[in-house]
Chains A and B, each alone.
Chain A
């Protein structure tokens, strides 16, 4: 029971990260194209300026929850995916520094350099995060200890790359929806115009990934057969996907953004629903079939304590996060920097 609750917690934290830092990454991907001249680029960055740091914390909290509840998954996955994770770390550093340094020197070369860095790092992060989810679903070659070595040949397989491209497009779409909601004038028009083509690409890739996942993990539908209500998750996901262009067409930018966020949550939720109770699958021929919520967990007492901490802590966090975000509601206005 406690193990299942922690599976939910981990899913919630990772989905929360994807939705929140997802639009930061999306803005990073698009800001050069949509921004054109410096002023609009700057406005795009100002739209995420006050919130990106808090959004990134969801990744740290998700990692922390993994250490507390599923230390074997944490140890095996982080050491197994070593090089990929290190590159993710370097990209996170580049992304964060680019945002913080770009306005420190009043020189167009400085700004251009950091903006390109911001774009490149955001795009590559989106791809690598998507590939990571793909590899979780596809599986890794476990040894008898539950460890594996994730070479680039293993990690950058076609299925994972496909998931990576889906992630890139979906997060770009999410970023465009965010900008349409938060900006005005030419920037907003460009963001709105970007939504439909990105949406078409996203739908095509989502269909491709879903089809491919049946080939890669034939047994994936087992949970949906067992608990048919779970099918609501992908169905609602499709509804959210359909809603995005409908809302966009009617100029309901906030609704479109919320639909995009819901889509991300529901896609990840569908993956989680199919995965449960496993956390990281093994490739055919692996020494063990999977790391799951039982064989990679800490003690029941540890997990119970941590769950209490989580519920108490996140209740407080949600209260002030909601209030802090409310300060930033409405359109981005001018510059933000001290």
Chain B
């Protein structure tokens, strides 16, 4: 692997993982805030309006971080991946373009109204602006995922002079891979927002301050957290797995650490892949479950990594661990939210200090789970940048040297480290100040 390719991949990987820390919250939080505003409008309950106003503060700073770290992503297809843009621009350009026109304009324009315009417009219009911001954020997620889904499973294209050109916009937008990847990602985002809401609410209850807001935040966070941690598993997670099995069987074998082709293949709950010995160390297996999950038949044959050409393998260990981290955490989320919902139903959640601690400490974990999931998706697609059509190694910009990219990567690392610290600092202050705290207009 040459110097420029490594640098390009590190830069894209780093910048996208940092960027995603922000929309993973705002897509879901926008939805939850829109729900709060809806309840406020329908029931006339001002507590929901006040809570929406509080969460909007955290939303605003997170959204701003997402925007400024997002622009480098759109630029980076051109700066560092010029051969990919040459090859696939006619297709992926459509969805990238639609993201700007249909989603970014909506969310950014209405955000100003939502954050600053509550006193200037009728309540219905303020509610509408919250809905448009949430819709814009979610729709933007759809278009970028449609882009990624095409890279994972190219559809609706024809090759013209060695480039991919679009044959059907409808085909591109209804890519079966996208139709499950999208709800799974959105569900992951709503889980994140729910657990952040519940966790901050738990912090307020534990600290015995802002207890009204604390209780409401915990309640909403737990209800939506339970719903969407289940949805992340079924149907969205399961159907995504089905698509990966169907369209990217090598990726699936790496995810499961399956080296040997077998009938009645097991899944490994845990285990450590040893790529020298081509086996899992210290595994705990559920026999025949993989065959069932993959093909609906406990005795189906599942092809292992050793029977695929080695030059088509993704990095096995990273894909395996990322997948198991995601699933492990996802399972824990279901457990935590189920217990929380049970305590909520029994009326003891707000006073169960031990459990409020768990809710509070759980805040970072959905971030890890979501990033792990994307790691599976993107690293698992290697060595392809467009699956089956263009290899990552053939997609870089030939006129950008490795040295230039290392320089800019270092620049991003420094800038994003500072941004991350600033974000944590400012977020902590917003949370500390609480609803109706901080600077007044």
Our verdict on whether A and B bind, yes or no, reads yes
Let me know if B78 and A79 touch, CB within 8 A: yes
In the complex, A33 has a CB within 8 A of chain B: no
CA–CA, A20 to B169, complex, Å? 31
Do residues A56 and B397 form an inter-chain contact, with CB atoms below 8 A? Answer: no
Contacts of A96 in B (CB 8 A): 64, 67-68
B348 contacts chain A at the CB level, 8 A cutoff: no
The interface residues of chain B lying within 8 Å CB-to-CB of A298 are 89-90, 93, 163, 165
Pick from B104, B110, B165: contact of A61, CB below 8 A: B104
Q: Quick check: is A216 within 8 A (CB to CB) of the other chain?
A: no
Tell me, rounded to whole Å, the shortest Cβ–Cβ distance linking A13 to chain B: 9
* A89 and B89 contact, CB distance less than 8 A: no
CB–CB B399/A78 < 8 A: no
Chain A residues with Cβ under 8 A from B97's Cβ?
61, 64-65, 67-68, 306, 309-310
B399 touches A74 (CB 8 A): no
The answer to the question of B75 belonging to the interface, with a C-beta cut-off of 8 Å to chain A, is yes
Question: Are B116 and A67 touching (Cβ within 8 A)?
Answer: no
A212 at the interface (CB under 8 A from B): no
B115 interface neighbour in A66, A78, A338, Cβ under 8 Å: A338
Interface residue ranges of B96-127 to A (CB < 8 Å): 96-102, 104-106, 108-113, 115-117, 120-121
* Contact status A50-B116, CB under 8 Å: yes
In the complex with contacts A50-B116, A68-B89, A309-B97, A106-B439 CB distance below 8 A: yes
Please tell me which stretch of B54-62, B266-274, B299-307 contacts chain A, meaning at least 4 of its Cβ atoms lie within 8 angstroms of it. Answer: B54-62
CB closest residue in chain B, given A146: B86
Is B68's CB under 8 angstroms from A97's CB?
yes
* A302 in contact with B166 (CB, 8 Å): yes
Contact of B108 among A56, A82, A301, A316 (CB under 8 A): A56
Indicate if the CB atoms of A78 and B79 lie closer than 8 Å: yes
Interface flags, B400-429, vs A, CB<8A=1, else 0: 100010001001000100010010001001
When the two chains form their complex, are residues B90 and A71 in contact, meaning their CB atoms are under 8 A apart? yes
Q: Does A334 contact B (CB under 8 A)?
A: yes
Q: How large is the interface on A (under 10, 10 to 19, 20 to 34, 35 or more residues)?
A: 35 or more
Which residues 145-180 of B sit at the A interface, judged by CB distance below 8 A? 160, 163, 165-167, 169
Bound complex: CA of A89 vs CA of B78, how far in Å?
13
Interface membership of A75, Cβ < 8 A: yes
| Cβ B71 vs Cβ A89 within 8 A | yes
Q: Does A263 contact B (CB under 8 A)?
A: no
Q: In the complex, which of the residues A64, A75, A320, A338 has the most CB atoms of chain B within 10 Å of its own CB atom?
A: A338
Select one of A65, A78, A106, A336 contacting B82, CB under 8 A: A78
Check if B181 is an interface residue, CB within 8 A of chain A.
no
A103, A104, A335 — which one has the most chain B CB atoms within 10 A of its CB? A104
Distance, CA A314 to CA B105, complexed state (A): 9
Which residues of chain B are within 8 angstroms of A250 by Cβ–Cβ distance?
A: none
What per-residue 1/0 map shows which CB atoms of A278-313 lie under 8 Å from chain B?
Answer: 000000000000000000001101100110011001
Contacts of A51 in B (CB 8 A): 109, 112
Q: Are B86 and A71 in contact (CB under 8 A)?
A: yes
The answer to the question of B74 belonging to the interface, with a C-beta cut-off of 8 Å to chain A, is yes
Question: Taking the complex as formed, is B72 at the interface, i.e. its CB lies under 8 A from any CB of chain A?
Answer: yes
- Is B419's CB under 8 angstroms from A93's CB? yes
Q: How far is the CA of A145 from the CA of B162 in the complex (A)?
A: 14
* Contact partner, B441, options A104, A328, A336, Cβ 8 Å: A336
Taking a contact as CB atoms under 8 Å apart, the answer to whether B85 and A302 are in contact is no
Name the B residues within 8 Å of A337 (CB-CB).
Answer: 116, 439, 441
Please tell me if A112 contacts chain B, counting CB pairs below 8 Å: no
Asked if residues A324 and B160 are in contact (CB atoms below 8 Å), the reply is no
A54 near B68: Cβ-Cβ < 8 Å = no
Number of A-B contacts (CB under 8 A): 231
Contact A147 to B398, CB < 8 A, known contacts A63-B74, A313-B98, A327-B113: yes
Q: Is the interface of B mostly helix, strand, loop or mixed?
A: helix
Q: Which residues of B contact A68 (CB under 8 A)?
A: 89-90, 93-94, 96-97
**Are A78 and B419 in contact, CB atoms less than 8 angstroms apart?**
no
Is the beta-carbon distance between B99 and A75 smaller than 8 angstroms? Answer: no
Q: Does A149 contact B (CB under 8 A)?
A: yes
Contact of A85 among B75, B98, B167 (CB under 8 A): B75
**Chain A residue with the shortest CB-CB distance to B143:** A64
Report A-chain residues with C-beta under 8 Å of the C-beta of B80. Answer: 79
Given A78-B78, A338-B441, A305-B94 contact (CB < 8 Å): yes
- Asked whether A92 is an interface residue with its Cβ less than 8 Å from the other chain, the reply is yes
- Cβ contact within 8 Å between A309 and B169: yes
CB interface residues, A 116-137, toward B, < 8 Å:
none
Q: Beyond A71-B86, A97-B419, is A299–B165 a contact (Cβ under 8 Å)?
A: yes
The residue on A at minimum CB distance from B430 is: A104
A59 and chain B: residue at smallest CB distance: B71
Q: Does A105 contact B (CB under 8 A)?
A: yes
| A100 and B363 alpha carbons, distance in the complex (Å) | 24
Instruction: Return the chain A residue nearest B169 by Cβ.
Output: A305
- Indicate if B91 sits at the interface (CB-CB under 8 A): yes
Where the two chains meet, the residues of A that have a C-beta atom closer than 8 Å to any C-beta of B are 49-51, 53-54, 56-57, 59-61, 63-69, 71-72, 74-80, 82-83, 85-86, 89-90, 92-93, 96-97, 99-101, 103-106, 145, 147-149, 298-299, 301-302, 305-306, 309-310, 313-314, 316-317, 320-321, 324, 327-328, 334-338
Knowing that A82-B408, A338-B57 touch, tell me 8 more A-B residue pairs with CB under 8 angstroms: A50-B112, A61-B100, A69-B93, A82-B400, A302-B165, A306-B94, A313-B102, A324-B113
Cβ contacts A to B, 8 pairs, < 8 Å: A57-B108, A79-B79, A86-B411, A89-B71, A93-B419, A301-B167, A317-B101, A321-B105
Q: Which residues of chain B have a CB within 8 Å of any CB of chain A?
A: 53, 56-57, 60-61, 64-65, 67-69, 71-72, 74-75, 77-80, 82-83, 85-86, 89-94, 96-102, 104-106, 108-113, 115-117, 120-121, 132, 160, 163, 165-167, 169, 397-400, 404, 408, 411, 415, 419, 422, 426, 429-430, 438-441
The 4 closest A-B pairs by CB, nearest first: A71-B89, A78-B78, A50-B112, A68-B93
